[in-house]
């Protein structure tokens, strides 16, 4: 009986782990990344040079890399942080 419970628990865990990335990817899409990238690019073009701008460029690069790796939620979060650094909440 213990073996059957353990097997069922292991199967449920495996299914949960298999579908977790798909559930996260459903929150943000590639189009969200593209939209945020355009917003950040426009904000960076209009910003004054400085430490915040440099940090925002780093966040934009991290967002681009995350979006290219299909981690859209992370990419959008990095772009949002870049906009925040530029005062464009």
Residue 3's pLDDT is what?
Answer: 53
Of residues 12 and 7, more confidence is placed in 7
- Exposed, middle or buried by CB within 10 Å (0-12, 13-18, 19+), for 88? middle
Helix intervals (H) in 28-89: 30-46, 51-68, 72-85
Picking from 48, 58, 38, the residue whose alpha carbon sits closest to that of residue 87 is: 48
Give the chain's mean pLDDT. Answer: 81
Domains of the chain, by residue range, sit at 24-85
Asked whether residue 35 carries a pLDDT value surpassing 50, the answer given is yes
């Amino acid at each position: 009986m213990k073996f059957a419970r353990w097997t069922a628990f292991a199967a449920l865990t495996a299914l949960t782990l298999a579908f977790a990335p798909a559930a996260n990817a459903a929150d943000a899409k590639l189009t969200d990344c593209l939209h945020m990238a355009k917003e950040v690019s426009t904000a960076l073009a209009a910003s004054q040079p400085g430490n915040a701008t440099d940090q925002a460029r780093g966040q934009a690069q991290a967002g681009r890399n995350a979006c290219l790796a299909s981690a859209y939620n992370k990419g959008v979060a990095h772009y949002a942080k870049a906009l925040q650094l530029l005062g464009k909440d």
